[in-house]
Amino acid sequence: MSKLTKTVKNRKHDSKRIGTVVFMLLFFSLIMTGCAQNRRTAISGNWEKTVAPNQTSNLTGYAFADDGIMTLYTGYDQNLTITDYDWHIDKNNPTLLDIDSRTNPAEHQQARFFIAGDSLYLCFDLKVSKADVMSAENQYLKTDRFSFSEWIPAAELAKDKAAKDAAINCTLTPETIILKLKDRGLPIGTVLVYSGDTGEEHLLSRPNMHLAKAARFEDTNVPQNPDASEPVGGSVEVYTNYTLAKQRYDYLSVFDEEAGYTYQSGNVLVRVDHAVTPDQAAQYEQALYEIVQ
């Protein structure tokens, strides 16, 4: 057999082998694409967290939309928070979800998931075994309507307000804001401006307060304690940015039943003491939104 004949045969053999490999790669690629698409279709929809034996609340739900947006609903005592993310199934591992914040590009997470019937098992700890992932702690049931749906409209309004607040950067001082509150007819008397050298028990020594300017005011409709070092009424806190103010707001909201009412507009918080009636406190809230916008 001539060298030319052998070369032609070898090339035909190599071409056939390459063709087979390419075909197998395409075949498996189609299978993987189909599997990924099937898993994407399977995870689409609403999933609500079940209550495990050691849990007291089920206010957690995920809504996976076909357009690649995942909405997280979470909260307690009817205080529901809504957060949106981008999601897709990891191309290298069909049991992993890639989840990215829609407001913070640097925030990236991965979660392991498995679907069994009407149950989704979702866990952000990638080191645990499949058996640990598929436990009651991580179980979500598919639902057409979340059990907390009645609270979603209020949460949507809060979400819209947060988006507007994030764009606000007020440069007014706390005492200027208090004067503007007084100009709107609110019953404000004595004003106490805090400074960095105030005592340990004063406002600026509390969590995150070293990053704020603050002042306290007297509400003249409220009985005052002559021996108190601070007037009874409320306070105004101005932070360097919205994020710090939100962190402080979230911290204070946990204690509102004891501490009073807390309102936020952008990087400004107004706190009103419990001695002030709810209707009067609402007047401070409305005035804050008019001043800081």
**Comparison of pLDDT for 281 and 25, the residue scoring more:** 281
- In the structure, what pLDDT confidence band is assigned to residue 257 with cuts at 50, 70 and 90? low
**Comparison of pLDDT for 10 and 27, the residue scoring more:** 10
- In the structure, what pLDDT confidence band is assigned to residue 210 with cuts at 50, 70 and 90? low
What average pLDDT does the chain have? 83
Residues 6+ apart with CB under 8 A from 76: 57, 59
Residue 85 has pLDDT above 60, yes or no: yes
Write down the architecture of domain 44-163 according to CATH: Beta Barrel (2.40)
- Both tokens assigned to 170: 């007020």
**Comparison of pLDDT for 271 and 206, the residue scoring more:** 271
Helices in the chain by DSSP H: which ranges?
3-43, 130-133, 152-165, 174-183, 242-253, 256-259, 278-291
Among 216, 151, 228, 132, which Cα is nearest to 178's?
216
Alpha-carbon distance of 242 to 74, in angstroms, equals 21
Angle, helix 278-291 to helix 174-183, in steps of 10 degrees: 110
Alpha-carbon distance of 213 to 244, in angstroms, equals 12
Query: Residue 107: its pLDDT value, please?
Result: 87
Q: What percent of the chain has pLDDT over 90?
A: 55
Question: What's the Cα-to-Cα distance from 249 to each of 56, 97, 185, rounded to whole Å?
Answer: 24, 32, 25
Residue 106 has pLDDT above 70, yes or no: yes
Q: Which strands sit side by side in the sheet containing 233-239, from one edge to the other?
A: 188-193, 212-219, 233-239, 268-272, 261-265
The SS3 call for residue 88 is strand
- pTM of the full predicted structure? 0.65
The highest-confidence range among 102-111, 130-139, 195-204, by mean pLDDT, is: 130-139
Helix (H) or strand (E) holding 229: none
Across 5-9, 85-89, 187-191, 289-293, least confident range = 5-9
Query: Residue 50: its pLDDT value, please?
Result: 84
The SS3 call for residue 66 is coil
Query: Residue 26: its pLDDT value, please?
Result: 47
Across 60-69, 211-220, 244-253, 282-291, least confident range = 244-253
Residue 78: what are its φ and ψ, rounded to 5°?
70, 5
Residue 11 has pLDDT above 80, yes or no: no
Query: Residue 96: its pLDDT value, please?
Result: 94
Residue 189 has pLDDT above 80, yes or no: yes
Residue 169 has pLDDT above 90, yes or no: yes
Mean pLDDT value of segment 272-289: 94
- In the structure, what pLDDT confidence band is assigned to residue 229 with cuts at 50, 70 and 90? confident
Residue 9: what are its φ and ψ, rounded to 5°?
-65, -40
Residue 162: half-sphere exposure toward Cβ, Cα within 13 Å: 18
Query: Residue 15: its pLDDT value, please?
Result: 56
Residue with tokens 């909405």: 71
- In the structure, what pLDDT confidence band is assigned to residue 75 with cuts at 50, 70 and 90? confident
Residue 112 has pLDDT above 80, yes or no: yes
Query: Structural domain boundaries of the chain?
Result: 1-43, 44-163, 168-291
Alpha-carbon distance of 32 to 119, in angstroms, equals 23
- In the structure, what pLDDT confidence band is assigned to residue 43 with cuts at 50, 70 and 90? very high
> Is there a contact between 101 and 80 (Cβ–Cβ < 8 Å)?
no
